[in-house]
Amino acid sequence: MVTPDQPNPGEFRAPDAKAIEDIALRTLESLPEAFRAHLGDVVLIVEELADEETLDALGIEHPLDLTGLYHGRPLGEKSSMESGSLPDRIHLYRRAILEEWVETGVGLDALVSHVMIHEIGHHFGLSDADMHALEEAAS
């Protein structure tokens, strides 16, 4: 017998923000130490969707078209003279990730890891080829 506080056994529940965050954190832990050492101050934020201001700034019309975003300056562009700025942030957008997951059939862990590594790549100022190599090293 199913009680009101238990889900129906056949009912599917979409992964919540905590599940996405857990996958992202496992991805961070799987990176080579040389990369992890420079990510300590980067803040991970899992949100439902990107806000209108972010979408407008990027020229993106639909919020489901943006799965992740890096806010900050790549390490090579930072100066020790900077102070008072917000910490670098990686935003993962749960609903857009889930939409891509359903549309592509790619495993959720692989998809979140891919998005996460892409955003980490922006933190390091990496090229797309470098990001693919980093993704391979984390697998």
pLDDT digits (tens, 9 = 90+) for 26-62: 998 888 888 888 887 889 999 999 999 999 999 999 9
pLDDT > 50? residue 71:
yes
1 assigned to some structural domain? no
Please name every residue paired with 84 in a beta bridge, in sequence order, or none if there are none: none
Q: What is the DSSP string of 42-87?
A: PEEEEESS--HHHHHHHT-S-GGG--EEEES--GGG--TT--SPPP
79 assigned to some structural domain? no
81 assigned to some structural domain? no
The pLDDT score that the predictor gives to residue 1 is 40
Per the confidence metrics, is the pTM higher than 0.95?
A: no
Work out how many domains the chain is built from and give that number.
1
Using a pLDDT cut of 70, give the percent of the chain over it.
82
- CATH code at 123? 3.30.2010.20
